Structure 1
């Protein structure tokens, strides 16, 4: 059985490769379309001696149609973004979050993830394998989130390194997670912070939670977490 570190590296490499291909494919399509337009113009007008004219005719039209679909996708995204600007986003205050119970806090975290466009479900409870909320974003990346609510907020008990190690132990092996996150309305111990950095566990303490709850997407606040490349307007459905 491969070691956990090796599995994490393989998943990271796959994500980087996929993002590179996804980003590069659009611009390659643009360059290819420009070339095809030049060849087709020469083929149809006689102004440019197109090589292999039959091949140009055969490949040119599908490439142009693909480009048209790609451009329509960009238009759909712009329209969706413009429409969303007028819609209020879910926002929560730290005072509201402090006043929640533990289970209510888990549901609040779930709702914030859903606001960011993830398919999120609360799975906390007995035998939850150290994952209170499991979510899948539009790029099919899995998020395993452990919630630690403190009624006294920043004055409550700090989340210790044991929680970090426990989540790391199940996030990859059990939940097949791309990202492991601990969310608390309190704070973390001095040992938990460096250990989380070493293990690749993301910590969302009180200050970061305030920014997230105020409307910013979570991936903007976590280090080394790129935003999803896919867009809600693309019409893809992600199953949790």
Structure 2
């Protein structure tokens, strides 16, 4: 049933912050991620955390705004500073039902903080395009695991 999940922007706009976070979790799950909602007071810029065998760990920061609301660069800085170090993310994404400022988009692109504005949210939630396709998220490089395995083998052989 979740595989058929579609959420309109009108439905998103009518949600409160908690419902928006739950909807993002459900959309990630629909896309094949193992996802859980973690957002609460003091969440350190993580509202939803997902895991995917091929892509690793994703952290979503949800910004539910009034229609016409904008998300600025400060949110991008916060997510960049916590997604990897605090939450172990390979991928960080800011998702809003509003707009993301031009500066925030540019900063995010330079510093690998992905973003989903109102238009991208429509494509993801209403049209069913998986988030990893929408954001063109590549599979993780297998080199990391191989390097660790090689190091373990070397230390055992020594």
TM-score bracket, shorter-length normalisation: 0.7 to 0.9
Q: Are the aligned partners of 1:141 and 1:178 in contact in 2 as well (CA < 8 Å)? A: yes
Q: Deviations over 1:79-103 (max 9, x none)?
A: xxxxx9xx96111111110110011
2:93 match = 181
Alignment of 1:48-197 (within 5 A): 89-139=4-54, 141-152=56-67, 155-156=68-69, 158-197=70-109
TM-score by length of 1: 0.55
2:128 match = 215
Q: Are the aligned partners of 1:110 and 1:121 in contact in 2 as well (CA < 8 Å)? A: yes
Query: Paired residues, what number?
Result: 139
1:7 match = none
Q: Relative contact order, CA 8 A, sep 6+: which one is greater?
A: 2
More helix by share: 1
Q: Deviations over 1:184-227 (max 9, x none)?
A: 0100112101110111000100101001012111111104x126
Q: Secondary structure at the match of 1:131?
A: coil
More strand by share: 2
Q: Secondary structure at the match of 1:117?
A: coil
- Structure 2, unaligned stretches of length 5 or more? 141-158
1:198 match = 110
Shift of 1:137: 1.0
TM-score by length of 2: 0.83
- Structure 1, unaligned stretches of length 5 or more? 1-83, 229-240
Cα RMSD (Å) of the superposition?
Answer: 1.8
Structure 2 CA distance, aligned partners of 1:99 and 1:144?
24
Which runs of at least 4 in structure 1 moved beyond 2 Å after TM superposition? none
Shift of 1:151: 2.8
Q: Are the aligned partners of 1:180 and 1:200 in contact in 2 as well (CA < 8 Å)? A: yes
Structure 1 CA distance, aligned partners of 2:34 and 2:3?
19
Q: Secondary structure at the match of 1:173?
A: helix
CA gap 1:197/1:125 in 2 versus in 1, 3 angstroms: same
